[in-house]
Copies of this chain bind each other. A is one copy, B any other.
Amino acid sequence: MDAALALFSEKGFAATRMDEVAAKAGLSKGALYLYFPDKVALLKTLVQETAGSVIGAAALMMAAHEGPVSPLLPLILGFVAEKLETSNIAAVIKLVLSEGRAHPEIGKAYLENVIGRAFPLMEGLIARGVAGGEFRAVDAGMVVRSFIAPMLLAAFWKSTFEPLGAAPLSVRALAAHHADLIVRALKP
Protein backbone atom coordinates (compact mmCIF):
# COMPACT_ATOMS: atom_id res chain seq x y z
CA MET A 1 0.00 0.00 0.00
CA ASP A 2 2.92 2.34 0.61
CA ALA A 3 4.19 1.54 -2.87
CA ALA A 4 0.76 2.15 -4.39
CA LEU A 5 0.30 5.45 -2.55
CA ALA A 6 3.67 6.75 -3.71
CA LEU A 7 2.98 5.83 -7.32
CA PHE A 8 -0.65 6.97 -7.39
CA SER A 9 0.37 10.31 -5.94
CA GLU A 10 3.25 10.70 -8.35
CA LYS A 11 1.72 9.53 -11.63
CA GLY A 12 -1.99 9.52 -10.97
CA PHE A 13 -4.20 6.49 -10.41
CA ALA A 14 -5.02 5.66 -14.04
CA ALA A 15 -1.45 6.13 -15.23
CA THR A 16 0.02 3.79 -12.60
CA ARG A 17 0.55 0.21 -13.74
CA MET A 18 -0.16 -2.67 -11.40
CA ASP A 19 3.19 -4.12 -12.50
CA GLU A 20 4.91 -1.01 -11.16
CA VAL A 21 3.13 -1.21 -7.83
CA ALA A 22 4.08 -4.87 -7.55
CA ALA A 23 7.70 -4.18 -8.46
CA LYS A 24 7.98 -1.35 -5.93
CA ALA A 25 6.48 -3.59 -3.25
CA GLY A 26 8.92 -6.37 -4.13
CA LEU A 27 6.18 -8.68 -5.43
CA SER A 28 4.83 -9.96 -8.69
CA LYS A 29 1.60 -8.63 -10.11
CA GLY A 30 -0.05 -11.96 -9.42
CA ALA A 31 0.70 -11.68 -5.72
CA LEU A 32 -0.96 -8.26 -5.63
CA TYR A 33 -4.18 -9.86 -6.78
CA LEU A 34 -4.01 -12.25 -3.86
CA TYR A 35 -4.49 -9.29 -1.53
CA PHE A 36 -6.70 -6.93 -3.54
CA PRO A 37 -9.50 -8.04 -5.86
CA ASP A 38 -8.77 -5.24 -8.32
CA LYS A 39 -7.01 -1.93 -8.81
CA VAL A 40 -9.80 0.24 -7.42
CA ALA A 41 -9.96 -1.87 -4.26
CA LEU A 42 -6.30 -1.04 -3.68
CA LEU A 43 -7.07 2.68 -3.94
CA LYS A 44 -10.13 2.37 -1.75
CA THR A 45 -8.37 0.45 1.01
CA LEU A 46 -5.51 2.92 0.93
CA VAL A 47 -7.73 5.94 1.42
CA GLN A 48 -10.00 4.39 4.04
CA GLU A 49 -7.24 3.10 6.28
CA THR A 50 -5.40 6.40 6.32
CA ALA A 51 -8.34 8.78 6.51
CA GLY A 52 -9.97 6.94 9.38
CA SER A 53 -7.00 7.15 11.71
CA VAL A 54 -6.65 10.94 11.74
CA ILE A 55 -10.25 12.02 12.07
CA GLY A 56 -10.69 9.79 15.10
CA ALA A 57 -7.81 11.35 16.99
CA ALA A 58 -8.86 14.90 16.09
CA ALA A 59 -12.46 14.25 17.09
CA LEU A 60 -11.29 12.92 20.44
CA MET A 61 -9.21 16.04 20.93
CA MET A 62 -12.18 18.31 20.37
CA ALA A 63 -14.67 16.28 22.35
CA ALA A 64 -12.36 16.04 25.38
CA HIS A 65 -11.67 19.75 25.55
CA GLU A 66 -13.44 21.99 28.01
CA GLY A 67 -13.03 25.62 28.94
CA PRO A 68 -11.97 28.39 26.55
CA VAL A 69 -11.71 27.49 22.86
CA SER A 70 -8.80 29.73 21.88
CA PRO A 71 -5.99 27.52 23.21
CA LEU A 72 -7.46 24.53 21.36
CA LEU A 73 -7.18 26.08 17.90
CA PRO A 74 -3.36 26.06 17.69
CA LEU A 75 -3.39 22.54 19.13
CA ILE A 76 -5.68 21.27 16.39
CA LEU A 77 -3.66 22.86 13.59
CA GLY A 78 -0.43 21.70 15.20
CA PHE A 79 -1.73 18.15 15.32
CA VAL A 80 -2.76 18.22 11.66
CA ALA A 81 0.53 19.85 10.65
CA GLU A 82 2.51 17.20 12.46
CA LYS A 83 0.57 14.46 10.67
CA LEU A 84 1.19 16.17 7.33
CA GLU A 85 4.90 16.31 7.99
CA THR A 86 5.50 12.90 9.48
CA SER A 87 3.07 10.64 7.63
CA ASN A 88 2.08 10.27 4.01
CA ILE A 89 -1.36 11.72 4.66
CA ALA A 90 -0.63 14.64 2.35
CA ALA A 91 -0.48 12.19 -0.54
CA VAL A 92 -3.77 10.62 0.53
CA ILE A 93 -5.48 14.02 0.61
CA LYS A 94 -4.14 14.82 -2.84
CA LEU A 95 -5.36 11.45 -4.05
CA VAL A 96 -8.87 11.89 -2.69
CA LEU A 97 -9.27 15.39 -4.09
CA SER A 98 -7.78 14.40 -7.44
CA GLU A 99 -9.52 11.08 -7.95
CA GLY A 100 -12.61 11.49 -5.79
CA ARG A 101 -14.80 12.63 -8.61
CA ALA A 102 -13.74 9.85 -10.98
CA HIS A 103 -14.40 7.30 -8.20
CA PRO A 104 -17.51 8.64 -6.52
CA GLU A 105 -17.63 5.88 -3.93
CA ILE A 106 -14.30 7.08 -2.56
CA GLY A 107 -15.11 10.76 -2.90
CA LYS A 108 -18.47 10.44 -1.20
CA ALA A 109 -17.07 8.33 1.61
CA TYR A 110 -14.48 11.02 2.32
CA LEU A 111 -17.10 13.73 2.10
CA GLU A 112 -19.31 11.96 4.62
CA ASN A 113 -16.83 10.38 6.99
CA VAL A 114 -14.06 12.94 7.10
CA ILE A 115 -15.38 16.34 6.03
CA GLY A 116 -18.90 15.63 7.20
CA ARG A 117 -17.62 14.77 10.66
CA ALA A 118 -14.75 17.21 11.09
CA PHE A 119 -16.47 20.37 9.84
CA PRO A 120 -19.51 20.18 12.16
CA LEU A 121 -17.26 19.41 15.12
CA MET A 122 -15.13 22.46 14.43
CA GLU A 123 -18.17 24.60 13.73
CA GLY A 124 -19.54 23.59 17.09
CA LEU A 125 -16.29 24.63 18.69
CA ILE A 126 -16.37 28.07 17.09
CA ALA A 127 -20.04 28.48 17.97
CA ARG A 128 -19.21 27.63 21.57
CA GLY A 129 -16.59 30.35 21.61
CA VAL A 130 -19.10 32.84 20.23
CA ALA A 131 -21.79 31.79 22.69
CA GLY A 132 -19.40 32.15 25.60
CA GLY A 133 -18.40 35.67 24.56
CA GLU A 134 -14.88 34.52 23.82
CA PHE A 135 -15.22 35.28 20.09
CA ARG A 136 -17.00 37.94 18.03
CA ALA A 137 -20.24 37.00 16.30
CA VAL A 138 -18.93 35.26 13.17
CA ASP A 139 -20.21 32.72 10.67
CA ALA A 140 -18.85 29.49 12.15
CA GLY A 141 -18.99 27.68 8.80
CA MET A 142 -16.89 30.32 7.10
CA VAL A 143 -14.40 30.46 9.95
CA VAL A 144 -13.88 26.71 9.82
CA ARG A 145 -13.05 26.93 6.11
CA SER A 146 -10.66 29.82 6.68
CA PHE A 147 -9.15 27.91 9.57
CA ILE A 148 -8.48 24.62 7.84
CA ALA A 149 -7.64 25.81 4.29
CA PRO A 150 -3.90 26.39 4.81
CA MET A 151 -3.52 22.71 5.74
CA LEU A 152 -4.97 21.82 2.34
CA LEU A 153 -2.52 24.15 0.68
CA ALA A 154 0.28 22.51 2.65
CA ALA A 155 -0.83 19.04 1.55
CA PHE A 156 -0.60 19.99 -2.12
CA TRP A 157 2.60 21.91 -1.61
CA LYS A 158 4.23 18.82 -0.15
CA SER A 159 2.81 16.28 -2.58
CA THR A 160 2.88 18.25 -5.83
CA PHE A 161 5.25 21.21 -5.69
CA GLU A 162 8.06 20.10 -3.43
CA PRO A 163 8.79 17.08 -5.66
CA LEU A 164 9.02 19.55 -8.55
CA GLY A 165 11.71 21.51 -6.78
CA ALA A 166 9.70 24.13 -4.90
CA ALA A 167 11.09 25.50 -1.64
CA PRO A 168 10.11 23.24 1.28
CA LEU A 169 7.30 24.55 3.43
CA SER A 170 7.35 24.26 7.21
CA VAL A 171 3.82 23.08 7.80
CA ARG A 172 4.18 23.42 11.56
CA ALA A 173 5.29 27.02 11.27
CA LEU A 174 2.42 27.80 8.92
CA ALA A 175 -0.01 26.12 11.30
CA ALA A 176 1.24 28.09 14.29
CA HIS A 177 1.24 31.39 12.43
CA HIS A 178 -2.18 30.80 10.96
CA ALA A 179 -3.75 29.74 14.27
CA ASP A 180 -2.46 32.96 15.77
CA LEU A 181 -4.03 35.00 12.95
CA ILE A 182 -7.40 33.31 13.38
CA VAL A 183 -7.45 33.66 17.17
CA ARG A 184 -6.67 37.36 16.85
CA ALA A 185 -9.30 37.79 14.15
CA LEU A 186 -11.93 36.22 16.38
CA LYS A 187 -11.27 38.47 19.39
CA PRO A 188 -14.34 40.56 20.21
Which residues of A are in contact with B by a Cβ distance under 8 Å?
Answer: 9-15, 94, 97-102, 104, 107-108, 111, 115, 138-139, 142-143, 145-146, 148-150, 152-153, 156, 159-161, 163-166, 169, 173-174, 177-178, 180-182, 184-187
- Nearest residue, chain B, Cβ from A170: B142
| B residues in contact with A163, CB < 8 Å | 101
Q: Which of B15, B165, B180 contacts A14 (CB 8 A)?
A: B15
**Chain A contact residues: helix, strand, loop or mixed:** helix
Q: Please determine whether A142 and B182 come into contact, CB atoms closer than 8 angstroms.
A: no
By the criterion CB–CB under 8 Å, are A107 and B160 in contact?
Answer: yes
User: Residues of B contacting A152 with CB < 8 Å?
Assistant: 149, 152-153, 156
Contact A11 B102 (CB under 8 A): yes
Contact (A160, B15) CB under 8 Å given A153-B148, A182-B181: no
Instruction: Evaluate contact between A12 and B14: CB separation under 8 angstroms.
Output: yes
What separation, in Å, do the CA atoms of A160 and B98 have in the docked complex? 8
Of A101, A115, A143, most B-chain CB atoms within 10 Å: A101
Q: How far is the CA of A94 from the CA of B10 in the complex (A)?
A: 15
> A183's closest neighbor in chain B, by CB?
B185
- Is B153's CB under 8 angstroms from A100's CB? no
Partner of A181, one of B9, B12, B98, B143: B143
Q: A98 is contacted by which of B97, B108, B161, B169 (Cβ under 8 Å)?
A: B97
